[in-house]
Structure 1
Amino acid sequence: MGHPVVANEAENWELADTISQHASEKQSDKTPSTNYKVGFPPRKTFLKEFADGLKETFFADDPLKPYKDQPGSRRFILGLQFLFPILDWGRKYNVNKFKGDVIAGLTIASLCIPQDIGYAKLANLEPQYGLYSSFVPPLIYALMGSSRDIAIGPVAVVSLLMGSLLQNEIDPINNGEEYLGLAFTATFFAGITQALLGVLRLGFLIDFLSHAAIVGFMGGAAITIGLQQLKGFLGIEKFTKQTDIISVMKSVLSPFPHGWNWPTILIGVIFLVFLLVAKYMGKKNKKFFWLQAIAPLVSVILATFFVYITHADRHGVKIVKHIKKGINPPSLELIHFSGPLLGKGVKIGIITGIIALTEAVAIGRTFADMKDYQLDGNKEMVALGTMNVVGSMTSCYVATGSFSRSAVNYMSGCQTLVSNIVMSIVVFFTLLLITPLFKYTPNAILSSIIISAVLGLIDYEAAFLIWKVDKFDFIACLGTFLGVVFASVEMGLLIAVSLSFAKILLRVTRPRTAILGHLPGTTIYRNIEQYPDSNRVPGILVVRVDSAIYFTNSNYVKERILRWLTNEEESLKEKDLPTIEVLIVDMSPVTDIDTSGIHALEDLLKSLQKKEVQLALANPGPVVMEKLHASEFVETIGIDKIFLTVGSAVIKCSHKSNEDV
């Protein structure tokens, strides 16, 4: 039954008073909740508390649980299965799964071969190094990885980032061998970084890059990669080494029109349209997913044949010319474990390793959710790190999970990581037998393949959703995007990290607080902004703190509560209504408090005493209650001022105020 509309605020307060009394009588008659007191949790020793916190942070999944109460031989087998999951799921492998994996492996191989050649150029490496990186790393990951769907190999963003960072240190043209050594050194330390994060169970660190920042970074990187491909797409001889849009556009427009090679442009445009149409048809109708997958290889074959029979290379069409035949040569002796290049390799390796890891884990989680299975993030990091360490010793640069290949792998019906093994075998025979056939492959077709591939990294729908949901997130997204496009990939990455940390600091130092009102006909108290029909209780102000209270925000929380109180008192004074006699702080969202937070509560209590306002706390959690008790704040405020719920606090404080009157 509804209440009549009140004519003014004074009548509203009288109505609130009546409702409060009614709720008090109703609760006293039917529920004993007001008789309950907030409990004190059992005290923990320092070592126990430290051990519990350590376990929850690093070992929440209890990795040793399967090994308990097991004989030594069984523990050894379980340990091998943990390191090499293929020993576990391989026992259940059958012919039907193999059929699906073979089809998926052949499909992603047709996609990866032309992509690898192009991505190697992004990293300023010879084409064969892209193929090397799709041979060894997928084999290692198939033995150690836990994702069923991820496809391993070089990816555009990591290739561009690595190439950009490497060429800032060494000229890839004039110092090719040193450049190659630094690339392998960076790959080695990228793998070490990834593996260490997994072994030390520090995978949560990659979550500090927010989703919004990643969306902006990927979109900016896609634009940058696409612009870099204009050199091959337009057949331009001289091109800037800078990646910002202004430098690139100067390099593109200054030689126009005579510096552009029109046969090259014709080849690029024709096959880019073909690739985009194939991609559109593959997304529009899932039955044609294979068209999207084989389109790059078909384009390479047709373009290569066209250049060969027309001798277009004699008319200015740039071709690949030579891809070294044979499988991965060893490269351990090229890795710098000392000297001036060691520090540079470590720095580049850490940056590229974390970006590669972020992309792979995001892809793995996406497909794991789609197929409803669990992905062990720390195990993934160890697997990815190990494959890159081994890869650095076998002439590979940083490999990770590719979203485009993983999507094709998923749609092709892959069942297990055997699809990666099949892909690796195809790349093996390509390196062994077919690479001379790529001699007349035009650079324009590789540019077209890369442009069509990176367009999928521009997720404008996600950016629009970020704008609608959280404006600060959108600022992070846009700032990162603009940093990559107008400055450099490194600057964009720096902006992404900085804005992600800025958001964390803002949320930590300026937590949300709210004034609560009483919902008519209930004993529930909610935010008055969310529930404008809720009523204020006469003489009582209820405030909720929506965060843990630490040294970073304790002063702000205290000052914000006092500001709420001052504003409320001024408003009541203007309307000639009763002043505030009791301040109730709803502590239910406060998960933790430190000594600075307790000190802030003590200061708040002193300030309220000067104003002759009582302080009451409602529903502090076990951790908070334990610390309030240990600091003797409970004795300071009085145990009778700590309540189970806001409703019980209002009832008791209302009765107490009436008795005082």
Structure 2
Amino acid sequence: MTFTKIFPFLNWIPIAKKHWKDDLIAGITGTIIVIPQAVAFAIIAGLPPQYGFYTAMIVPVIAALFGSSHHLISGPTTAMSIVVFATISKFADPTTELEAYVGLTLVLTFMTGVFQLSMGLANMGKLVNFVSHSVILGFTAGAGILIAFKQLKHIFGLPVPQGSSFYEILSYIATHIRETNWYVFLVAMSTLAFALIIKKIKVISRYSMLIAMILGSVLAYFLGGESKGIETIGEITGKLPQFKIPELSLEKVKTLSSGALTLALLGLIEAVAIARSITLKSHQRIDSNQEFLGQGLSNIIGSFFSSYAGSGSFTRSGVNYQAGAKTPMAAIFASFFLVIVLLLFSGFAAYLATPVMGGIILLVGYNLIDFEHIKQVFKTSQREIFVLATTLFGTLFFELETALLGGIALSLFFYLERTAKPNIAVMGLTKDHLFINTIRDPETKECPQLKIVRIDGSIYFGALEVISDYFNNLYQKNEVKNVLVIAKGINFVDLAGATWLEHEVNKWRARGGNIYFSGLKIVSQDVLTKGGFLDHIGQKNFFKDKKTAIAEIYKNLDEIICENCTMRIFHECKTY
């Protein structure tokens, strides 16, 4: 491992010196964007607002220093916040046991970072490639709906019991709708309307949430504020986070392990997916393992400074790139300016009304539902629809970790199911002497002594049943004694596949025939070579191309049958 691999920031620091002005402007823009998000996400996580600021200050810096993306901005996110709340609220009530709640949150964050760091050290970065996009779509859509419903008590001004589930919230609102505080409702809906209107004004659209929060709070003040039942979020402690080691214990580790693993996976999937989406425009090369390490270290170190589990933010990362950021220094600048905001302007948060945050978070939840891509899923694949729907409804009605892991398991099942059914095409020769699938052209001709088939898929334990059944049926029909397998589409052969191949070749040889292979990739012969299967089967059964294979196989065909054959499809047949 090279020195720059351990300290990746050494790669971009020389570049940052040249582009510090671009990164400074992007950093200032990022600070303005993160202020309302930090408050909103902390509330979603069940934490006081300052913890959102702490997470937005510490996590981005560490992730920027040890990650690989030049534009990814980490910190508090919606999905991570709701998983934190769902995990910790089962063991402590944030409204009555805040100290215990915060303590467990920091332990959860530390464990999340450990899982992520371990995955990075084990070079498991490619794991995110196996998570279907439909799983993420379903999970984020479900999380968005949950977030929105959990804010309804702040929208209607109703005392919905803490920890109520999706359907319990719906039931409570329906039965107590007449008790709605219409002042609270007006402030929440007005804030939502302000945000939507400002979003359409291009010049200030990126600051829509911040401006809407200010306008909503002003409206709440003129309506009468707390005298009308419009509560505020209270003062934000204008202090920097103190260094404190999370109170780890074996009991807490066991209790929070499943939630930490869910957060780790979700955070890594989010971060790498966002980083890669930005590279489509920036053309920067991303190292998934390095992102794993960066995210892991950011959460581990963040847990020592009162930060809760964070990940990459699509909104802030997109704005960071659009604002002209050139290096990760922009993230560090953004954190620095956020420190100034916390120290000098935190007192203004005392005027921030709870229904204002309710309206903003309602919008955040709605924006999590990617309607465009969900429509694409419904148009293209029934299996992906099932994966998406399972993950979405699982998020609403079951534990979040169960929903996420269940969606991943289901998508992997469908993937394995597809690879377990490789396409086996019977090849025939056209009048122009081209080999094509006989299904595509019924006029193709086949040699009565040599069956030519193409296998599109790997020969591994999961696909053996389908491949074995095909060859067994072919063997029992006893129509031909020799088979040529066009093997260009075989990407790998595992131990089970190699064992089966040796057995099948020997079976056909015992009847006076043989199985041959043309164009099998060198990489696909790895297990065959190392396991000695290639020697047992014989090098003479493997050819580099069809032409060479047919020329050699032809020599072993029954001459009497060839003399009376009317097909004459090979060039060699002209000798008769």
TM-score over 0.5 for the pair: yes
1:141-540 aligned within 5 A: 141-239=63-161, 241-244=163-166, 246-258=167-179, 260-279=180-199, 281=200, 288=202, 291-332=204-245, 335-523=246-434, 525-529=435-439, 531-532=440-441, 535-539=444-448, 540=450
Query: C-alpha offsets along residues 406-447 of structure 1, whole Å, 9 cap, x if unaligned?
Result: 112222222222222222122212221212211121122212
**Equivalent residue for 1:116, pick from 38, 44, 52:** 38
Match of 1:551 in 2: 461
Q: Does the 8 Å CA contact 1:541/1:565 hold for their aligned counterparts?
A: no
Whether the aligned pair in 2 keeps the contact of 1:149 and 1:367 (CA below 8 Å) is yes
The aligned amino acid for 2:544 is L
- Secondary structure at the counterpart of residue 108 of structure 1: helix
Which amino acid counterpart does residue 137 of structure 1 have in structure 2? V
1:193 CA drift (Å): 1.6
Amino acid at match of 1:331: K
Q: Residue type matched to 1:250 in 2? A: S
Secondary structure, aligned partner of 1:513: strand
User: How many Å separate the matches in 2 of 1:163 and 1:337?
Assistant: 19
Write the distance in 1 (CA, Å) between the matches of 2:560 and 2:552: 12
CA shift for structure 1 position 458:
1.8
Equivalent residues of 2:461, 2:494 under 8 A apart: yes
What code does the residue aligned with 1:304 have? Answer: S
Contact 1:356 1:400 in 2 (8 A): yes
The alpha carbon displacement at 1:393 in A equals: 0.7
Of the structure 1 ranges 184-193 and 142-151, higher mean CA displacement relative to structure 2 is found in 142-151
Task: Judge which range, 626-635 or 338-347, deviates more.
Answer: 626-635
- Distance in structure 2 (CA, Å) of the matches to 1:653 and 1:595: 27
Higher mean C-alpha displacement, 344-353 vs 218-227: 344-353
Q: Take 2:232 and 2:530, find their aligned partners in 1: how far apart are those partners? A: 75
Give distance in 2, aligned partners of 1:482 and 1:82.
41
Of stretches 86-95 and 293-302 in structure 1, the one that deviates more from structure 2 is 86-95
Q: Deviations over 1:598-639 (max 9, x none)?
A: 332244346546876543222233355465467665576565
Change (3 A) 1:93 1:601: closer
User: How much has 1:202 moved relative to structure 2?
Assistant: 1.9
Match of 2:545 in 1: 645
- 1:263 maps to a residue whose letter is Y
- Given that 1:476 and 1:500 are in contact with CA atoms closer than 8 Å, whether structure 2 keeps it comes out as yes
What SS is found at the alignment partner of 2:194? helix
**Paired letter, 2:177:** F
1:304 is displaced (CA, Å) by 1.9
- Which residues of structure 2 form unaligned runs of 5+? 562-576
Q: What amino acid is the match of 2:185?
A: I
Q: Residue in 1 aligned with 2:571?
A: none
Residue deviations 1:95-134, cap 9 Å, x none?
6x33332332222222211111111111111111111111
Residue 16 (structure 2) pairs with residue 93 (structure 1): yes
Q: Which moved more, 1:181-190 or 1:472-481?
A: 472-481
Q: Which residue of 2 aligns with 1:659?
A: 559
Q: Which residue of 2 aligns with 1:68?
A: none
Partners of 1:630 and 1:106 in 2: CA distance:
58
Contact map agreement 1:123 1:160 (CA 8 A) in 2: yes
User: What is residue 73 of structure 1 aligned with on the other side?
Assistant: none
* 1:24-61 alpha-carbon deviations (Å, 9 max, x no partner): xxxxxxxxxxxxxxxxxxxxxxxxxxxxxxxxxxxxxx
Structure 1 pair 99–522 and aligned structure 2 pair: CA distance change class (3 A): farther
- Please tell me whether the aligned partners of residues 108 and 259 of structure 2 are also in contact (alpha carbons under 8 angstroms): yes
Q: Cα distance 1:141–1:615, how it changes in 2: closer, same or farther (>3 A)?
A: closer
d(CA) in 1 for partners of 2:538, 2:23: 68
Cα gap change, 1:188/1:565 in structure 2, threshold over 3 Å: closer, same or farther? same
Contact 2:492 2:525 in 1 (8 A): no
What is the TM-score when the length of structure 2 is the normalising length? 0.89
Question: One-letter code of the match for 1:101?
Answer: D
SS of equivalent residue, structure 1 residue 257: helix
Instruction: Pick the aligned partner of 1:541 from 440, 451, 466.
Output: 451
Distance 1:413 1:495 in 2: 39
Distance 1:581 1:105, change over 3 A: same
What SS does the corresponding residue of 2:515 show, helix, strand or coil? strand
Compute the displacement of 1:250 (Å): 1.0
CA distance change for structure 1 residues 441 and 587 in 2, over 3 Å: closer, same or farther? same
CA distance in structure 2 between the partners assigned to 1:257 and 1:164 by the alignment = 29
Across the two proteins, how many residue pairs are aligned to each other? Answer: 560
The verdict on how the C-alpha distance between 1:266 and 1:92 changes in structure 2, with shifts beyond 3 A counting, is same
Deviation by residue 1:56-107 (Cα, 9 ceiling, x = unmatched): xxxxxxx55xxxxxxxxxxxxxx2x444444332223356x33332332222
Task: Note the C-alpha offset of 1:209.
Answer: 1.9
CA 1:109 to 1:564, structure 2 compared with 1: closer, same or farther past 3 Å?
farther
Partners of 2:95 and 2:311 in 1: how far apart? 26
Write the distance in 1 (CA, Å) between the matches of 2:430 and 2:162: 66
Q: Distance in 1 between matches of 2:395 and 2:198?
A: 29
User: For residue 297 of structure 1, what is the amino acid of its counterpart?
Assistant: L
**Is 1:597–2:497 an aligned residue pair?**
yes
List per-residue Cα deviations over 1:422-476 (Å, max 9, x = no partner): 2212221222121221112112221222222333322233233334444323321
Distance of 2:489 and 2:336 partners within structure 1: 55
Distance change (3 Å), C-alpha of 1:141 and 1:632 = closer
Match for 2:461: what amino acid? F
Deviation, 1:650, is 4.1
Question: Once structures 1 and 2 are overlaid, which stretch shifts more, 85-94 or 583-592?
Answer: 85-94
Give the superposition deviation at 1:563. Answer: 3.7
**Corresponding residue for 1:53?**
none
Using structure 1 for the length normalisation, give the TM-score: 0.78
**Aligned: 1:618 with 2:518:** yes
Cα deviations by residue, 1:5-36 (Å, 9 ceiling, x for unpaired): xxxxxxxxxxxxxxxxxxxxxxxxxxxxxxxx
Partner of 2:196: helix, strand, or coil?
helix
**Inter-partner Cα distance in structure 1 for 2:215 and 2:339:** 22
Q: 1:493 to 1:632 in 2, by over 3 A?
A: closer
Report the CA distance shift for 1:480/1:605 in structure 2 as closer, same or farther (over 3 A): same
Partner of 1:25: none
C-alpha distance in 1, partners of 2:244/2:154? 29
CA distance in 1, matches of 2:535, 2:320: 64
2:119 and 2:125 in contact (8 A); partners too = yes
1:145–1:379 CA contact under 8 A, matched in 2 = yes
In structure 1, list runs of 5 or more residues that go unmatched.
1-62, 65-78, 283-287, 571-578
Name the CA distance, whole Å, in 1 between partners of 2:418 and 2:432.
35
